[in-house]
A and B are shown apart, each in its own frame.
Chain A
Amino acid sequence: MMSMATTIQSLTAKDFKTDQDVRWCPGCGDYSILAQVHRTLPGLGIARENIVVVSGIGCSSRFPYYTNTFGMHSIHGRATAIASGLKAARPDLSVWIVTGDGDGLSIGGNHMIHLLRRNFDVNILLFNNQIYGLTKGQYSPTSEFNKVTKSTPFGSIDYPFNPVALAIGCDATFVARTLDVEAKHQQDILKRAHAHKGTSFVEIYQNCNIFNDGAFLAYSEKASQPEETLFLEHGKPLVFGANKDKGIKLNGFHPEVMNLSQNGISANDLWIHDENDLVKAQILARFFDNPSKPNHLPRPFGVFYVNQRPTYEELLSEQIESVTEKLGEGDLDKLLRGKEVWEIK
């Protein structure tokens, strides 16, 4: 046991790299996410062999090939369903699902919502680039309205999903958002996601520099980031702006932007972030305006909501234990015999 523990502690990001060439386009946001995962995994105290990365289909879903753990690159949209069966069968494993906006919210949308409500203890990393990359540039279920793509030359008339609001609507027990270029923030969120017992839903804004370059520029550029983003911290007031001079106040159920430099307004008057407050999380999830809209709210990043509820695999194991206690360990001969038999001599 000692040596095993030492081995786990001495793991580094390098140990999680594989010998396969990473084949994402140069400049893709996926590289940063891969690096942050590789930097985070060694610190989690789990042996490599006890980690399984399951993905579906899409650019992001190549992820398992680049991570030296057990892994499965499955079929389009089904990573969530495969991971559910794996976790039900093997609660001892640390299961990570890598999916995208098309894989996880379009073709795999059904499995996604059911995984969230069942609350298996797995981590979902949803790479959201608001476009189909692998099929070369069609709009996705998170693409903004009126988006011009190969399949929508006159603009998309699909209304987009708000992934965080969707997850909260499914009674997900951990909902967070982070950004590919924010290395430190990503690592913090990944650690929190791992620590949470239950399904962790992490939306990662990821730039596709080939088919949807700059989709999240407002949130990543030095110039605009302070005004356009709101980094959430549990127990802290909602403050943003280059000079930390703006804050959000809740007027009833209605969020309002306050100017802290104005007379009489201080951080004490602001909305204090509470990760365990479902109603407030739902309001935060709706800070979703397009940055070009006048008087829009900043886009929140961080942990929106956390709740504790038994996991599916715990309940399943407990039920098996309690039934076995009640009925006794199954006796195959008794089972084959059934209730009523007769003899032929």
Chain B
Amino acid sequence: MKAILEAKESVVIKFAGDSGDGMQLTGSQFTNEIVLGGSDIATFPDFPAEIRAPQGTLAGVSGFQLHFGSRKIYTPGDEYDVLVAMNAAAYKANIKRLKKGGTLIVNTAGFDAKNLRLAGYDSSPLQNGEGENFRLIEIDVTRLTRESLEGLPLGTKEKDRSKNMFVLGFLFWMYNKKMDSTLNFLKEKFSKLPDILEANIRAIKAGYHYGDTTETFTTRYDVDAADLEPGTYRNVMGNQATVLGLITASKKSGLPLFYGSYPITPASDILHMLARHKNFGVKTFQAEDEIAAICSAIGASFGGSLGVTGTSGPGMSLKAEAMGLAVMLEIPLVIIDVQRGGPSTGLPTKTEQADLLQALYGRNSECPIPVVAAHSPSDCFESVIEACRIAIQHMTPVIFLSDGYIANGSEPWRFPKSNDIPEIKVAFAKPNGNETFMPYQRDEKLSRPWALPGTKGLEHRVGGLEKENITGNISYEPDNHEFMVKLREAKVEKIADYIPEQKIEAGPDRGRLLILGWGSTFGVIKSVVKELNEIEGHAVAHAHLRYMRPFPKNLGELLKRYDIILIPEINNGQLIKVIRDKFLVPAKGYNRIRGVPITKTELKEKALEVLMKSV
């Protein structure tokens, strides 16, 4: 029987298996082939903090969710069209979110007595009638993979590692996709292990042919290329875009990049990726702890490098004192916080937006630091360049906020040409004849000169003690201290003159409801507003903040043009506190703190409720 090709506008797939089953690799390779086919995509890797949690258990389930389509995709999707469950635990953890009538692909070998017991089932849910709600495709992936690898000099354990490739091949068939990119990837990855390479290639082809030759399946899906703006695209993950942005800022400013960091999930990939780009003159330093990481970056900045440190919440707490030093020294420094669930160790591999107040206020005394937040994987590029620009040109530490969802998620990116990216002008202090150098003299931006060691005539001392205005000498004068506190605050507020005004992302420029967001809620707000306006005839506006401190100058005036302001956040209400405090507007919050992105369904429901209540 020939399969029927059915066109689909968008599809949500969830790959779920044991954390050792290679689901992340499967998901990212599927993503690559999808984007190369021109579809738009949003991805959401979701994995446990344990590297290899006990096999077969719910704690060990690792997942990769992706949403791709022939239209613009903003979120990884609320419910799945397709669920691939490699074992009973993966099934149990995900089945609730599979659409009624959706496709359920299971590895039957993962539903044996042992796996059922580990997942807490008395008997197979597939035989209890649960499977009837879905289009169930049962494949004994384990056996078929082993059979396809017969004759290869590999043990059973090694052969079983190729199971994910069998599934991937099958999915490629199901969605009518090429697999050239994946084959190239495998050839590169296993160039020194010919048997493993052969096993992976055989398994992926076996999966593809299995779909092609078995008569079980009658429908294949075809998702067209998306209607994206013309141009050349690549796929990019958030941490990757952050790395590209940092290297770009280094090139565009002519400052060598120094990255001091201590490994922490989900920020470590920034260190890994930067370490690979030494031929851009990048110096990476894996410090002994979070404090040394930021301090080494301060030292490098003092010496004239673009000093950057990266971490996640717990590391931010440890770096707080050194951030205060950077505020006193008034030297450029970028602090990257890839937020995760907290407090304390919290949810290391899950996403959250709960470090905003920490970024704004989490230091001793009056310690203003500008804050820039990225809103999507590709936006990390531009946002982190902005963070670098502000740090360099305004002589200040800057906090760059990303989060676990953005960091590990990916999307197509129409990358820029280096020539189209503006230069970041840097002005180092120069000696002025025999005049004594004044390290705390200020320019029109209220920023002080950056005087590099090695420059004759600029010898000077800086430190964490309160500075006398202009001379920078130690001063305990009461009036001087108050003056300097206000001056440091004014300097940060002054940055508002050098950033763009806040724009409305979608919807009317005045009216009933404005949804105000920041960070990774961008996609879900965007798609909810689109649906409310285009399908249901509402007129809801969306504004999304990149500059969290200082706010764009027009923000207060913009907010007052709407009757209701709704602020969705993956925290217990943080931006809302700042907005209410600063603009005295009665904003409403929508707060989900589940370690996962807010879904479209729940946000839309909330928006409608707010709209109805205020009639």
| A335-B277 in contact given A70-B460, A72-B462, A75-B322 (Cβ < 8 Å) | yes
Closest B residue by C-beta to A323: B278
Q: Given the interface contacts A74-B295, A82-B296, does A18 sit within 8 Å of B455 by beta carbon?
A: no
Q: Nearest chain-A residue to B40 (Cβ)?
A: A344
Query: Could you tell me which residues of chain A, from 108 to 149, have a CB within 8 Å of some CB in chain B?
Result: 110-111, 114
B283 adjacent to A88 (CB under 8 Å): yes
Q: Are B278 and A90 within 8 A (Cβ)?
A: no
Residues from chain A with Cβ under 8 Å of B236 in the complex: 338
Residues of A within 8 A of B453 (CB): 49-50, 52, 70, 86, 90, 93
A89 touching B303, Cβ below 8 Å: yes
A111 to B305, CA, bound (A): 21
Instruction: List residues of B (234-281) whose CB comes within 8 Å of A's CBs.
Output: 234-236, 244, 247-248, 251, 256, 258, 260, 277-281
23 A-B pairs with CB atoms under 8 Å apart are A20-B474, A48-B456, A49-B454, A49-B458, A69-B459, A72-B302, A74-B295, A78-B292, A78-B295, A84-B299, A85-B295, A88-B283, A89-B305, A111-B292, A320-B278, A324-B278, A332-B247, A333-B418, A340-B234, A342-B38, A342-B233, A344-B226, A344-B229
Query: How near does chain A come to B384, taking the closest CB pair, in angstroms?
Result: 14
Complex partner residue of B256 from A89, A111, A324, CB under 8 angstroms: A89
CA distance A327 to B249 in the complex (A): 21
- Smallest Cβ distance from B576 to chain A, in angstroms? 33
The 8 closest A-B pairs by CB, nearest first: A73-B463, A85-B296, A85-B299, A330-B280, A86-B299, A81-B295, A89-B300, A81-B292
Interface pair A82/B460, CB less than 8 Å apart:
no
Provide the bound-state CA to CA distance between A73 and B417, in Å. 42
Could you tell me if A114 and B288 are in contact, using CB atoms closer than 8 angstroms?
yes
Q: Known contacts A85-B258, A342-B232: does B454 contact A110 (CB below 8 Å)? A: no
Whether A54 sits at the interface, judged by CB under 8 Å, is yes
Shortest CB-to-CB span from B177 to chain A, Å, is 13
Known interface pairs A73-B464, A85-B260; A335-B280 also in contact (CB < 8 Å): yes
- A85 near B288 (CB under 8 angstroms)? no
- Interchain CA distance A113-B295 in the complex, whole Å: 16
Candidates A70, A319, A337; contact of B278 at CB < 8 Å: A319
Which of A49, A81, A86 is B303 in contact with, Cβ under 8 Å? A86
Chain A residues with CB under 8 Å of B299's CB are 54, 81-89
* Interchain Cβ contacts within 8 Å, total number: 204
The CA of A52 and the CA of B291, in the complex, are separated in Å by: 21
In the complex, which residues 286-313 of chain B have their Cβ closer than 8 Å to any Cβ of chain A?
A: 287-289, 291-292, 295-300, 302-305, 307
Q: How many residues of chain A get a CB closer than 8 Å to chain B's CBs?
A: 57
A343 and B233 alpha carbons, distance in the complex (Å): 6
Closest to B247 in A: A335
Q: Which of B37, B307, B321, B329 contacts A72 (CB 8 A)?
A: B329
Determine if A153 is an interface residue (Cβ-Cβ < 8 Å).
no
Partner of A74, one of B181, B258, B280, B464: B464
Question: Is B473 an interface residue when CB atoms closer than 8 A count as contact?
Answer: yes
Write the B345-367 contact mask toward A (1 if CB under 8 angstroms, else 0): 00000000000000000000000
Chain B CB within 8 A of A341 CB: yes
Q: Is the CB of A254 closer than 8 A to any CB of chain B?
A: no
Find chain A residues with CB under 8 A from B417 CB: 333, 336
Known: A54-B299, A84-B292, A341-B234. 11 other contacts (CB 8 A): A74-B325, A78-B291, A84-B295, A90-B453, A93-B454, A319-B278, A324-B281, A332-B251, A338-B234, A340-B234, A342-B36
**Cα-based distance from A85 to B305 in the complex (angstroms):** 10
CB-based contact A49/B459 at 8 Å: yes
In the bound complex, CA of A323 to CA of B300 (Å): 21
Interface residue B137 (Cβ < 8 Å from any Cβ of A): no
In the assembled complex, which residues on chain B have CB atoms less than 8 Å from the CB atom of A342? 35-38, 232-234
A337 → chain B, closest Cβ, in Å? 6
Question: In angstroms, how far is the closest chain B Cβ from the Cβ of A123?
Answer: 15
The smallest C-beta distance from B433 to any residue of chain A, in angstroms, reads: 16
| Residue A300 at the chain B interface, CB threshold 8 Å | no
What separation, in Å, do the CA atoms of A208 and B325 have in the docked complex?
28
Q: Which residues of B contact A47 (CB under 8 A)?
A: 456
State whether A70 touches B459 (Cβ < 8 A). Answer: yes
> How far does the alpha carbon of A331 sit from the alpha carbon of B71 in the complex, in Å?
33
Among candidates B282, B289, B461, residue contacting A110 with C-beta atoms closer than 8 Å: B289
Expressed in whole angstroms, the Cα–Cα distance for A78 and B37 within the complex equals 51
Assess A86 versus B233: contact at CB under 8 Å? Given A72-B329, A75-B321, A335-B244.
Answer: no
Which residues of chain B are near A338, meaning CB under 8 Å?
234-236, 415
